[in-house]
Structure 1
Amino acid sequence: MALTIDQSPIPRYIPAPPVTEELDYVDLAIIDLSKLSSGSGKLELAGNVRDAMRAQGFLYVINHGLTLQETERMFDIANASFDSVSEDEKSAYAGKIQEEGSFQGYKPRQYWHIDAGVHDQIETYNINRDVSKKEHPQTLRPFLPEIQQFSRHSHFNVLHPILRLLTLGMDLPEETFVNLHGFNSIGESYVRFMKYFPRSDDEKSKTNNVWLKGHTDMGSITVLYSQPVAALQILAPDGKWLWIRHIPNALVINVGDALEYLSGGFYRATIHRVVQPPPSQRGYTRLGVYYFAMPDDNVKLISRSGSKSEWTEKKFEANVVPSMEVYRKARTSAYGRSTLRRATNEANVQEEVISGVVVRHYD
């Protein structure tokens, strides 16, 4: 489903130039969704997606149905949500993050505590998959039809195919996970525009150049539309942080907590963080366009995997199994605002318990 690009004028977003340093990149699988058109291609992709997500929890997707021009248009719109909206209007459309456990709306800079008294320099604007759920700033209103098409595309043409492939990789009925992710259901899958601003030298020093601590996402699948600033890293099994390479017009897909719970640990949420870019890209902002997918609010975060459950560690305290609504609200309210405890025998890990779930953060 191609987007219908509106002719409403908007300033072009000019991204940072490509990184010039040689970085220690992780080698991720590249999944070509155009192969879904044949039965044999689907089975091949299911095996490839299963193996990639079990080994690393991240992969690339290409031929996802949007042209480079359409993707760039979404980055233009994303940038306008920050650069073309006044601070007063941003305050008027601020998300009720702590009050309602919802990210819908703006999250201002310096809202999350990172480390050593330093707060984030990240601004976000979060839009429910149904853009009509809430009002939006005047600047964005002409572009809401495009954002709605983009949301539907991300949900039906990216999320659902990936969920089907993940399910086939477990030898489960193909719609098992798709049926838990309805577009019109009550829930909070959303489009996120996210802009990272450069830090001061003092902030860099105090946080060891970490912009966003190592964490797992709370939802099922996160879709990142690849952009050129090198900053995203994943934690390898040997404890080393590896960089994610930018591939123009590719998607970077990762597993979150909810899918780990629903798959009984067959797929594991991947630990990732955001750090200061290398010297060739210092001083540039990092603009992100995402689709954060979560199961419907009424879905209990319990394994649908039957005999394939592989969990060996305890995931819930006192056998509490929260719904997606309970977990997302608690996790949203607490993130970056709660007091963390240092994990036993792990100097680089801090923990908190949210709705009976032990949530870990990595330095």
Structure 2
Amino acid sequence: MSTTTTEAPRVQHSLKPSADAQQYDYSNLTPYQHPPETKESLPWSELVTLDLEDFDRPGGKERLAKQLEHAVHHVGFFYVKNYGLTEKQVQQQFTLAKAFFELPIEEKEKHEVDYANADYNGWRRPGRRPTGNAFDNIEIFNIPKFTPDFEGRYTYPELLQAHLPEIKTFQRALHNNVVLPLLRLFAIVLQLPDEKYLVNQHTFEKKSEDHFRYMIYHPRTEDEWRAADYGKKGGHTDLGTVTLLFRQPVAGLQILGEDGNWTWVSAQPGTITVNLADTISHLTGGWLKSSVHRVVAPPADQREYNRTGLLYFARPHNDTVLLPITDSPVLQKAGVKPRFEGNVTMEQWVKAKQTLQLNPKIADERYAKNGDGTVEVLAGFKDQKYKE
């Protein structure tokens, strides 16, 4: 049984470290170390890498947009490098993630998400969602934006409370240095007259459901992986605009290509992996590709390791109506159509999809009701089960 956030001691979403923060100084935390990369030969995805240092150079945006055209329409995945955060800053966030997941369950469950109300901020315990004949091995802690809309609504263990200023800096840098430039590049690809059209729907200050995430996939035995069908049933799309995933050497992430085959995403040094998600696809009538992906069993030489992730999920303002953009020559030529029956806001979309994601029984009942491998999320738009 989950513990709601209202039952935990209130810790204001402030940036003032606690009085005994010294005990949580990095000098007193065990540094995170990446596991070794696999030696197995795997069918790796061929993904473009954008150098964001080129963005502000003369003609840089146009060059980067040209690089992106195929990826955003046909693949939905790519890498970025030179994103304005130091290796030390990244390493510190991995260390915090490691330390958080090593906290006692009794401490973590004080900050558990409110599953029934589809509120995903806070700690999500592993083992809640069936995968094959087993339960998931995924543990998560989501941190909302540091804005007045979320101040005081959520609680944090002392470990993270001591480091909220750095987490805020890290989160804001991802939004400003990666998300906003990418949105301008998407606008150039779409030939929008206003290069900031999408940026204006994703300002940090206005209420939206962006969040930063610590995530861990715990190791499984061979019997447990077999019972879980090795993760092959886990194909899905993300629900927001873009997802940013920091380099993680434990292989497992796969993309479903237009040819119907799954390929592996490699861990490229110094990069963030970016995937497009449902919302940007809704805003373009499906022209920008919401990529289907999954995380499967790692290669045999990596199955003993935890697979730790740092992620940032970007989403437009809650009041954004998810209709196709009308003044894009690219979308006009493609003849795109709305994906919903009627006007749907981002807030409504998040609530509907998170209800399914956080409540497996509801999802299973609705899939069973349709009986064709699909489930209606909202206003006629359906999710589906993907190729194994």
Q: TM-score if structure 2 supplies the norm length?
A: 0.85
How does 1:68-79 map onto structure 2 within 5 Å? 68-79=87-98
Counterpart among 313, 327, 332 of residue 292 in structure 1: 313
1:315-337 deviations in Å (ceiling 9; x for gaps): 33xx1332111111111121161
In structure 1, give the amino acid aligned to 2:114. K
C-alpha displacement of 1:164: 0.6
Counterpart among 367, 376, 388 of residue 353 in structure 1: 376
1:154 matched to 2:179: no
Question: Alignment partner of 1:290: what SS?
Answer: strand
| Residue number in structure 1 paired with 2:141 | 125
Question: Alignment partner of 2:301: what SS?
Answer: helix
Cα distance in structure 1, aligned partners of 2:203 and 2:186: 17
Cα distance in structure 2, aligned partners of 1:136 and 1:185: 23
How does 1:194-343 map onto structure 2 within 5 Å? 194-210=215-231, 213-306=234-327, 307-309=329-331, 310=334, 315-316=339-340, 319-335=341-357, 337=360, 338-339=363-364, 341=367
Contact 1:67 1:249 in 2 (8 A): no
Cα distance in structure 2, aligned partners of 1:169 and 1:96: 39
Contact 1:121 1:196 in 2 (8 A): yes
Q: Which range moves more in the overlay, 325-334 or 216-225?
A: 325-334
1:137-175 deviations in Å (ceiling 9; x for gaps): 111111111100011001111100011101111111111
Contact 2:137 2:219 in 1 (8 A): yes
CA separation of 1:233 and 1:313: change in aligned 2, threshold 3 A: farther
1:104 matched to 2:121: yes
Q: Which runs of 5+ in 2 are unaligned?
A: 1-23
| Residue number in structure 1 paired with 2:14 | none
C-alpha displacement of 1:92: 1.0
Cα distance in structure 1, aligned partners of 2:138 and 2:215: 7
Q: Which runs of 5+ in 1 are unaligned?
A: 1-5
RMSD value, Cα: 2.2
Contact 1:31 1:62 in 2 (8 A): yes
| Residue number in structure 2 paired with 1:163 | 183
Cα distance in structure 2, aligned partners of 1:168 and 1:213: 33
Cα distance in structure 2, aligned partners of 1:192 and 1:18: 23
1:11 matched to 2:51: no
C-alpha displacement of 1:212: 6.8
Cα distance in structure 1, aligned partners of 2:34 and 2:294: 21
Q: TM-score if structure 1 supplies the norm length?
A: 0.91
Q: Which has the higher strand share?
A: 1
In structure 2, give the amino acid aligned to 1:296. H
Q: Which range moves more in the overlay, 139-148 or 209-218?
A: 209-218
Contact 2:245 2:272 in 1 (8 A): yes
Paired residues, number: 350
CA separation of 1:33 and 1:236: change in aligned 2, threshold 3 A: same
1:14-49 deviations in Å (ceiling 9; x for gaps): 221111111100100010000012131111101112
Question: Alignment partner of 1:215: what SS?
Answer: coil
1:25 matched to 2:41: no
Q: Which range moves more in the overlay, 17-26 or 123-132?
A: 123-132
| Residue number in structure 2 paired with 1:3 | none
Cα distance in structure 1, aligned partners of 2:211 and 2:203: 13
Contact 1:8 1:143 in 2 (8 A): no
C-alpha displacement of 1:239: 1.1
C-alpha displacement of 1:305: 4.3
